[in-house]
Amino acid sequence: MNIGDKFPELLGLDADGKEVKLSDYPGKKFIIYFYPKDNTSGCSMEAVSLKDNYDTFLQMGYQIIGVSKDSAASHKKFAEKYSLPFPLIADTECKLCEFAGVWRMKKMCGKEYMGIVRTTFVCDNDGTVTDVIEKVMTKTAADQLFKLLEGRGEINPA
């Protein structure tokens, strides 16, 4: 997905099997982040960074939604382990990942495989992409987003 593209109304099912729709968050803009796998070091650091700043994002008018191909059960354990307050989409068939263009060929240790390329999309309140972060800094993901939003004039520098 690129700037100007729009996410679908129905994003998928969360860890409890409940449908997650953009319209579930009236008046909110969105931070939709795609990550490779629950309970890995980078993905855990990214989730905790966003969790620790979740109230600030809500005050700024943003809802955070995480997406990976892990199962609902895996997401539930991951969310409980780190007390994540935002929904995690269980995109087990990679439909949303493919739609967003983050399901791609990757390489590790000389082997090629299909996987999720860690990417964060900032969207307006109808799901239209306004910014894309392709080089996510997992440990400081929230700070990276704050700098982006500050550059857009959405927040004042501290």
Q: What are the residue numbers of the active site?
A: 43
**In Å, what is the CA distance from 154 to each residue of 4, 32, 123?**
18, 18, 13
Residue pointed to by tokens 């409890």: 16
* Distance of alpha carbon 32 from alpha carbon 125, whole angstroms: 12
Contacts of 62 (CB under 8 A, 6+ apart): 28, 29, 30, 31, 122
Helix axes 72-82, 41-52, angle to 10 degrees: 60
* Distance of alpha carbon 142 from alpha carbon 136, whole angstroms: 10
Contacts of 85 (CB under 8 A, 6+ apart): 51, 54
